[in-house]
Structure 1
Amino acid sequence: MARFSVRTSGFPEIRRDGEPCPLPLRKGLALLVYLAEAKGAVARDVAATMFWPDSADDVARTRLRRLLHRVQLALGDGVLATDRTSLRWSESVAVEVDAQQFEAACDRGDFTLACRLYAGDFLDGFTPGACPQFDEWAFFRREALRGRAVQALERVVQDSSAAGDYATAVAHARRLVALDSLSEVYGRALIRSLMLAGDRTGAERQLEALTQQLRDELGVAPEPETRALLNASTRIAEPPATRYVGGGGVHLAYQTYGAGPVDILLLPGFVSHVERVWEEPRSRALLSALAAMGRLILFDRRGIGLSDRVGFSPSVDATSSDIETVLDAAGSRRIVLLGASEGGPACITFAAHHPERVAGLILFASLAKGSATPDYPHALQARQYDMWLRQLVTDWGGPAGIEAFAPSLAGDPQARAWWAGLLRAASSPGAIKGLLEAFRDTDVRHLLGRVAVPTLVLHRRDDRAVLVGAGRHLASHIRQARFVELDGADHWMFAGAQQPVLASIADFIAGLPARAG
């Protein structure tokens, strides 16, 4: 059996039994990569349209036949299986794809191997030319793989530092910095690793380079915590340790912080990263204040942040199941659920199905349905939602959507840089597009009447991301709900005035009839 390897890191290459296959045709290379990634048959019409989008159907099909003939001549007869309607790599040959080997290593949790396998971005610098559909597919695939590479590198840096292997931590932190040179988080990880490895000169050079890049590109200076890393006598406050628990075929990243008579699980909106959330001073202050009320539990839902990336968009029910998995791992018997924005529906679902485990439910800037219908006018129309989503995906990598999510911080360069970095680390454009498309179709209104636990609904009056009417709707349909309308326009809980939010939460928790963790 002939063995083929398909290299997708950088410029693509096809090898047969270890020897390069001369294939100067860019569209031929692109077609072979696309077929290898498809792991099955691809319709002829789909391939013809992808590579000759401006040609008439019969012309495109003729050009595809000619291309397939030239590819067969280059690779050998029987390598591709074709018929009148479809084409694929033949089952009589073995095909290995480096991108798929990398993903398999990530899935197994072998992050050291995954980092070795990730030799560069998917099809970096390659295009078949005048094939926008292929280029779009390659872009989303590239971003998804890059996100998993970032996650793998973060894990190796974390594990190596914990094991005292600072040389390995330095090497992988350098790769993180190369992937995102504007990330102060990654720059800080490298500086810290260099200091622990005894290379103060290298740490000073890295701080100097980071300082100049932040100044030139973003007009900001490094945070005091970053500069303090060079002071060996200064102990830098670290975020809580990140732990993992397996459930439903995935590994979920979670943290616990603080102690007290009640456990508080915070489920944020559509994107999260349990470590990066501590890097923003206002966010850190809010989390610390919540931890002063009890033991705070944070986790990244499947597919987001430091939890395993998955090839599908997790449903509300899947996220509700993940809540139970994390609570069991944290040893929590009863919980106060705090669902913010898109985190609300999963918390509602869990509270409706597991009232015995929920002492109280808090919903902040949340809603029961992802898009508007005649009987639910409190969200964007599906068409408006899709337009917003396209813009969000287009702006991904920068501080996408911050003007709507946190108008009070939209002009703050440090906040903008943090948000952009969190987005890049937490997900990819393709993955977040699928997740938000799934949320657009979410509807938990039928569960509101089944919520039988004390509930607090908080919503800022001029919230631009989720209208205040959505909060009023929640409160009016949950039996034991109290609605508190707050001043301000910020959708993020930590942006704007925190004190009214924290005071309402503290009063609510203090008034719960049972507060066991």
Structure 2
Amino acid sequence: MAMADSVKRPFLSLLGGFDCSGLAAGTPASTGKARALMAYLALQAGQSQSREKLAALLWGGRGEEQARANLRQTLSVLRRALKATGREWFRMEGDRVALDLGDADLDVRRFEALAAGSATDDLEQAIALYPGELLEGFNLAEEPFEDWLRTERERLRITATAALEKLITCHIGGNEPGACIPAATRLLALEPLREDVHRTLMRAYAAMGSFNLALAQYRICGDTLRKQLGVQPEPETRALYQDLLARRMAPPAGQSPVKVAPFEPRPQTRYVKSDGVSIAYQVTGDGPFDLVYVQGWVSNLDYAWDSSRLSNVLHRLGSFCRLIRIDKRGTGLSDRGTGFPTLEQRMQDVRAVLDAVGSQKTVLFGSSEGGVMCMLFAASYPERTAALILHGTYARGLWSPDYPWGRTREELEEELLAIEREWGRPADLSRAAPSLIDDMVEREWFAGYLRNSASPADAISLWRWGVEIDARDILPAIRVPTLITHRTGDRWVKPEEGRYLASRIPGATYVELPGDDHIIWGADSDRLMDEIQRFLVSAPPAPTESALLTVLHLDVQGASSGRVKEWQDDAVRQLRAADGEAIDLRESGLVAAFRQPSQAITCAFDLRVRLHHIGLDVRAAIHVGECERQDGVYAGAVLRLAAGFADCAGPGDIIASRTVRDLVVGADLSFDLRGQLDLPGIPGPWPYFSIGQS
């Protein structure tokens, strides 16, 4: 809420977490037990507590003597830390202890006082002071304290619920339907099964002329009831939905028609099988270009239409393209629980969808992590790629000395903890879309969108997977017309990362747009759509002389002249089964090309086993890079590097370059660093790894 900006920071904040202006984070005074002691004493309204009770509350699993010693030490640390504020906060009276807040501001105390009132301003301020539950995310693993905390959390949640109900009543009584929307949305976050509040939101949206949002709220209500209770909405809710549907189509006599965006039923969701996995997709629009939009992290094809902002962007894309959207495996409406996906698998999922809709050549539009897969597709299948568009995309997820914009391991772990802690709550848009941070409608929709896109555990796994990607080595192999757009203030993916892509992808066009929003449906989305449309109209045809290929170089040791045909026939059969093509087949080995690294790895393992059975040892190396083909002749540094890696392998070894390792993140394989290769005329060094099967 906007009101939150005007609320001063309390000395001690316990709602939504723990924050004390007198305690520095990371000091001994900020340990879990110290914060728990401060919180407990603060909520006792200045009443002293016995040391015996406090020791049992926080150190119940220790002996009495040890518990009291821990209490003394914690109190001592807190008192020393708080002395910098210029006063004594603790009262010690014999065996009893109290926290003397005096006139200092405690957010819980002010929240309860404001929530008890009836004035609209007081209630607005009260809700602004309740960003989350008491000590949100706090877990002390001391049962007496946890019992107390559960009781206090429920008490304050009921207080917040009552304040929101009064606030909604005030706005409705004042004939301010639009003003009650944030409060009703917030109340549903606390009590999602309240049909009366769903109906309030539906009526409020309709009163504002937003009939699409009102009808979408009914779908949200129905989905929630079915998933959590297995029931349908009440007759009153269904009747309201039918009434709003009729009013949208034909306003009552005497009223001017409400100007709303034309209602369109959700497009049909279809499915295609890709390697046994069902992939959901939707097709909308009828423009002259086929365009596949691949979203980052997680998505839900149906739920996307419930956001007026995102649906407007999708309609805009559909005005000049045939828009093809997919839910990647493991997310949204596609099969869940499919294991850890690889970039290759997701790339093949896109191919399967394109085949299903009859698209021979398409524009690839990827945002955030989705852009990485689009880059791999464009490099691997230039003959099927008309152009490549990347927005807010990165080349590598983690920090390295030569890529200083990625996340550190520590930052990654903090992000994963935040996802686990906040999943399902009103979404924190401070980094994804700062322009929408005060828009509770958008925050609630986005939280629902995420919940319907993946489970918390899957969301965490997919986030970690996306950060482990490193696609830097494939960038020079992208030879299709490429547009890279980035927001100057993007807080998720730094603009330097967009500039890095533009400097490494041959001929790429880079456009840096003003603004801070990472998502494509944030502020000034029309400007982004304008840039995409302008680029597609003027982009030259994509050349297809070269492509990203995986090269397998395999040496066969110990083959007598009489056994050459035997192993070669076996090798050709294995190549055919793995969709590979022989570039060079000779008595001492072979060189073969594949579209996917996993195909080459599988073929290498199979050949090693088969040839070992007939008494032959092999050593093999696999590398991914740009390869040119003219008149049936292959050329490129990838061939020299694969041969160089093979020379480093011992009998029975299968060696892979770092590029291969980075592109098969998520596969059931292990990679052990063996060394690095330097070849004259090829910038290096090139680390290489032995491949094992986990």
TM-score of the two chains, using structure 1 as the length reference: 0.58
Secondary structure of 1:403's partner? coil
Aligned counterpart for 1:345 among listed residues 367, 372, 375: 372
2:594 — aligned with what? none
Aligned counterpart for 1:187 among listed residues 214, 218, 223: 218
Secondary structure of 1:404's partner? coil
Structure possessing the higher relative contact order (Cα contacts under 8 Å, 6 or more residues apart): 1
User: Superposed, which structure 2 residues align to 1:502-517 within 5 Å?
Assistant: 502-514=529-541
User: Deviation string for 1:404-448 (max 9, x for gaps)?
Assistant: 101111110110110011011111110111111111210111110
User: Superposed, which structure 2 residues align to 1:11-26 within 5 Å?
Assistant: none
Aligned counterpart for 2:332 among listed residues 302, 305, 308: 305
Are 1:204 and 2:254 an aligned pair? Answer: no
1:228 — aligned with what? 244
Identical-pair percentage: 36
2:294 — aligned with what? 267
Secondary structure of 2:398's partner? coil
Alpha-carbon offset, residue 187 of structure 1 = 3.0
Q: Residue 204 of structure 1 contacts residue 230 of structure 1 at CA under 8 Å; is this kept in 2?
A: no
User: Superposed, which structure 2 residues align to 1:8-87 within 5 Å?
Assistant: none
Residue type of the alignment partner of 2:276: G
The 2-side partners of 1:300 and 1:468 are apart by 27
Q: Residue 328 of structure 2 contacts residue 334 of structure 2 at CA under 8 Å; is this kept in 1?
A: yes
The 2-side partners of 1:226 and 1:341 are apart by 39
Per the alignment, do residues 226 and 395 of structure 1 end up closer, same or farther by CA in structure 2, a change over 3 Å counting? farther
The 2-side partners of 1:427 and 1:361 are apart by 27
Aligned counterpart for 1:408 among listed residues 435, 450, 455: 435
Alpha-carbon offset, residue 207 of structure 1 = 7.0
1:390 — aligned with what? 417
The 2-side partners of 1:430 and 1:363 are apart by 28
The 1-side partners of 2:247 and 2:531 are apart by 40
Alpha-carbon offset, residue 247 of structure 1 = 0.8
Alpha-carbon offset, residue 188 of structure 1 = 2.4
Are 1:258 and 2:285 an aligned pair? Answer: yes
Alpha-carbon offset, residue 319 of structure 1 = 1.2
Are 1:288 and 2:325 an aligned pair? Answer: no
Secondary structure of 1:449's partner? helix
Residue type of the alignment partner of 2:244: A
Alpha-carbon offset, residue 228 of structure 1 = 2.7
Are 1:436 and 2:463 an aligned pair? Answer: yes
Are 1:372 and 2:404 an aligned pair? Answer: no
The 2-side partners of 1:179 and 1:299 are apart by 32
Alpha-carbon offset, residue 476 of structure 1 = 0.5
Q: Residue 366 of structure 2 contacts residue 391 of structure 2 at CA under 8 Å; is this kept in 1?
A: yes
User: Deviation string for 1:284-304 (max 9, x for gaps)?
Assistant: 111111111110000100000
Per the alignment, do residues 179 and 203 of structure 1 end up closer, same or farther by CA in structure 2, a change over 3 Å counting? closer
1:417 — aligned with what? 444
Are 1:329 and 2:360 an aligned pair? Answer: no
1:480 — aligned with what? 507
Per the alignment, do residues 226 and 383 of structure 1 end up closer, same or farther by CA in structure 2, a change over 3 Å counting? farther
The 2-side partners of 1:462 and 1:427 are apart by 28
Q: Residue 273 of structure 1 contacts residue 426 of structure 1 at CA under 8 Å; is this kept in 2?
A: yes
Alpha-carbon offset, residue 313 of structure 1 = 2.3
User: Superposed, which structure 2 residues align to 1:167-182 within 5 Å?
Assistant: none
Instruction: Could you tell me which runs of 5 or more consecutive residues in structure 1 were left unpaired when the two chains were aligned.
Output: 1-53, 56-129, 133-176, 193-199, 209-224
The 1-side partners of 2:455 and 2:386 are apart by 35
Residue type of the alignment partner of 1:291: G
The 1-side partners of 2:523 and 2:515 are apart by 7
Aligned counterpart for 1:319 among listed residues 323, 333, 346: 346
Q: Residue 481 of structure 2 contacts residue 540 of structure 2 at CA under 8 Å; is this kept in 1?
A: no
User: Deviation string for 1:21-43 (max 9, x for gaps)?
Assistant: xxxxxxxxxxxxxxxxxxxxxxx
Aligned counterpart for 2:304 among listed residues 274, 277, 280: 277
User: Deviation string for 1:78-135 (max 9, x for gaps)?
Assistant: xxxxxxxxxxxxxxxxxxxxxxxxxxxxxxxxxxxxxxxxxxxxxxxxxxxx799xxx
Secondary structure of 1:437's partner? helix
Alpha-carbon offset, residue 248 of structure 1 = 1.5
Per the alignment, do residues 322 and 410 of structure 1 end up closer, same or farther by CA in structure 2, a change over 3 Å counting? same
Q: Residue 394 of structure 2 contacts residue 493 of structure 2 at CA under 8 Å; is this kept in 1?
A: yes
The 2-side partners of 1:477 and 1:231 are apart by 54
The 2-side partners of 1:447 and 1:202 are apart by 55
Instruction: Could you tell me which runs of 5 or more consecutive residues in structure 2 were left unpaired when the two chains were aligned.
Output: 1-60, 63-140, 144-191, 202-213, 224-231, 251-261, 543-694
> RMSD of the alignment, in Å?
3.1
Per the alignment, do residues 238 and 482 of structure 1 end up closer, same or farther by CA in structure 2, a change over 3 Å counting? same
The 2-side partners of 1:508 and 1:242 are apart by 29
Q: Residue 361 of structure 1 contacts residue 454 of structure 1 at CA under 8 Å; is this kept in 2?
A: yes
Per the alignment, do residues 252 and 372 of structure 1 end up closer, same or farther by CA in structure 2, a change over 3 Å counting? same
Larger radius of gyration: 2
Alpha-carbon offset, residue 255 of structure 1 = 0.4
Residue type of the alignment partner of 2:236: E
User: Deviation string for 1:315-364 (max 9, x for gaps)?
Assistant: 22211111111111111111110000110110001001000000100000
User: Deviation string for 1:225-268 (max 9, x for gaps)?
Assistant: 99732548569421211111111221011000011221010001
Q: Residue 222 of structure 2 contacts residue 233 of structure 2 at CA under 8 Å; is this kept in 1?
A: no
User: Deviation string for 1:473-492 (max 9, x for gaps)?
Assistant: 00000002011000000001
Secondary structure of 1:421's partner? helix
2:264 — aligned with what? 237
1:89 — aligned with what? none
User: Deviation string for 1:182-237 (max 9, x for gaps)?
Assistant: 79857327779xxxxxxx995533577xxxxxxxxxxxxxxxx9973254856942
Alpha-carbon offset, residue 390 of structure 1 = 1.3
The 2-side partners of 1:303 and 1:491 are apart by 23
Per the alignment, do residues 357 and 492 of structure 1 end up closer, same or farther by CA in structure 2, a change over 3 Å counting? same
